[in-house]
Amino acid sequence: MFDSKKFPLAVGLFFTLLSAICGLLIWVVPNQFIAIIKPITHGTNWDIIWKPEMTLGSFVLGLIDAFVLSYVLAWIFAKIYQMLDKK
């Protein structure tokens, strides 16, 4: 059974963890991280926008953003799924 209350929480926590890992990699090994990201994001010129300076505040704000945005999107997905599942 699909649990529409646990699913958004799981997605939110997953993307928060993923964001934390990315943030830590940017802090610890910024040049190696950008070398990994460049091939994945085709067509993005990272040389123009790449600024690896990160404060604790921006790191925490990024984690909050990741959780809230992914939670809301997963909640919407769960509601649509439940609505379609009833029919």
- Pick from 5, 6, 19, 4: nearest CA to 69: 19
pLDDT at 41: 84
**In the chain, what are the domain boundaries?**
6-86
pLDDT at 87: 67
Distance CA 60, CA 66 (A): 10
pLDDT < 70 positions in the chain:
1, 87
Distance CA 62, CA 59 (A): 5
Q: What is the pTM of this model?
A: 0.81
pLDDT at 45: 81
